[in-house]
Chain A
């Protein structure tokens, strides 16, 4: 079946460090891929997306590239801030369904 696997957290970094959160997927076909972020006490917000192979999604300094050959969509940021502390969810969606499938989430903690 279709699924998303994320690295387990928490990921703990100092401010201005480089961030990578790994995400791989299993899918029959070519889904769209998303990263959502959940700040404490809030709902999920779309961070970025990519709809086809080699697309790069970017927003707020975060980037992720849709890699079909490795079925991956790793999230990166060159310099994290304390305000980036949140839970990050990788997700996939097939265009002919309304069913967004989430990974288990990765908690990021950034310390000053």
Chain B
């Protein structure tokens, strides 16, 4: 009974392709996130959604489009993949409320060749 689950765990694809990463949480949280971790382990927020509504949209190329069909799911679609998109992408969720810690998925390692 994984709390935050992402699929796939590994994704290898060629430049120019379009791919999606799925995320689901069964914690009943209202807020979900996508973070990107680069090769140096640096973590940066990309998006957050609260009850299907976009709350945070950092400076991310518009090739990246999050979609939240319901508050338990937040998918990430990436168009026209580039070499620089290679990274580990983490989904996370948190309950509404101040200072709530995030619960992370195990990550999706995307490799663009």
Write the residues of chain A forming the contact surface with B, with a CB cutoff of 8 angstroms.
32, 34, 36, 38, 41-46, 49, 51, 87, 89, 93, 95-102, 104-105, 107
B4, A105: Cβ atoms closer than 8 Å? no
A99 in complex: contacting residue of B40, B45, B90, CB < 8 Å: B45
A98 & B55 in contact (Cβ 8 Å cutoff): yes
Given A44-B90, A45-B104, residue A100 in contact with residue B99 (CB < 8 A): no
Q: If A89-B43, A104-B42 touch, does A46 touch B56 (CB 8 Å cutoff)?
A: no
Q: Is the interface of B mostly helix, strand, loop or mixed?
A: strand
- Tell me the bound Cα distance from A17 to B105 in angstroms: 31
Residues of A within 8 A of B68 (CB): none
Q: Does B75 contact A (CB under 8 A)?
A: no
Chain A residues contacting B107 (CB-CB under 8 Å) are: 42-43
A99 touches B48 (CB 8 A): yes
**A36-B104, A49-B101, A105-B41 known, 4 other contacts, Cβ within 8 Å:** A87-B41, A95-B98, A98-B55, A100-B102
Count B-side interface residues using an 8 Å CB cutoff: 25
Query: How close is B108's CB to chain A, nearest CB, in angstroms?
Result: 10
Measured in the bound complex, the distance between the Cα atoms of B92 and A38 in whole Å is 14
Cβ–Cβ contact A51 & B41, under 8 A: no
Is B43 a contact partner of A102 (Cβ separation < 8 A)? yes
Query: Does B34 lie at the interface of the complex (its beta carbon under 8 Å from any beta carbon of A)?
Result: no
Which residue in B31, B43, B106 is a CB contact (below 8 Å) of A41?
B106
Q: Verify B33–A105 contact, CB threshold 8 A.
A: no
**Is the C-beta of B86 less than 8 angstroms from some C-beta in chain A?**
no
CB pair B94 A98 closer than 8 Å = yes
